[in-house]
Amino acid sequence: MARNPTSMILLVVSLFVLILLVPQVTPGERRASASNGDSLFRQLKDRTESRPTMELQVGTRLHVRLREKVTDRNRAGDSFIGQLDRPLIRNGRTLAPAGTRVIGRLTRMPELTAAHKETGSNEVGMVLEQIVLNNKVLELRSEPLTLLIPARPNDAETSSLLRPFRDDSRTARGWTSEDDGVIYESGTRLTFVLAERVLLPVLGRSE
């Protein structure tokens, strides 16, 4: 069947007009559209990540386990890393699970020399300064924690962890001549007390 030339021409013209009427997206408009999409994604992500917060009051106990050794090579000002030995829970809500990383600082660390025994400077001072939650470092401040340097146990009487040096046991020189010079082993449990209130995100209900 022969086609009408006029109909063919009208069909071609109609298709051409239709193509002209379709809005053309410029590269700039495409970039703007992608930017708007990224902005919307960020808003949704921020909204998803935002959590309600609760206050930990002054006096809250933080039970911490050291994750690294404290040795006679450490000095005041050195940082140390620990982890929560128990979760932080308030009103049935978990604010930080056990195992959460905390960062502290040595505020007092005597040089263990022969003069140590004569001066009686046998104390280590520590404070907590930071807690890491959801890969974010949050500031906090604990009361200073003062500990006695433990004696090297050489019999049943001197095996106490926090017992200071005794005149009838080893001297400071003898203590520091040990190869490792460890004062507190990794895994040592310590209890800090919160000195300032801190707001922490609520992670969920405690079991």
With a cut of 90, say whether residue 138 has pLDDT above it. yes
148 pLDDT band, cuts 50/70/90, is: confident
With a cut of 50, say whether residue 27 has pLDDT above it. yes
Stretch 194-202: mean pLDDT: 93
Of the spans 25-34, 126-135, 153-162, which averages the highest pLDDT? 126-135
Per cent of the chain over pLDDT 70 is 59
Output the pLDDT for position 7.
Answer: 74
Q: What structural domains does the chain harbor?
A: 53-200 (2.40.128.260)
What residue ranges in the chain does DSSP mark as E strands?
Answer: 53-56, 61-66, 70-71, 79-84, 88-90, 93-96, 101-108, 123-133, 136-139, 145-148, 182-184, 189-193, 198-201, 204-205
Element (H, E) at 49: helix 27-49
Residues 63-101 as b/e (b if ≥16 CB within 10 A, e otherwise) read: bbbbeebbbbebeeeeebebbbbbbbeeeebbbbbeebe
Contact in structure between 198 and 62 (CB atoms under 8 Å): no
Least confident of 30-44, 60-74, 84-98: 30-44
Residue whose C-alpha is closest to residue 101's, from 124, 143, 132, 56: 132
Residue 138 three-state SS: strand
Residue 8 CB-half CA count within 13 A: 4
What's the whole-model pTM score? Answer: 0.61
Of the spans 20-24, 42-46, 82-86, which averages the highest pLDDT? 82-86
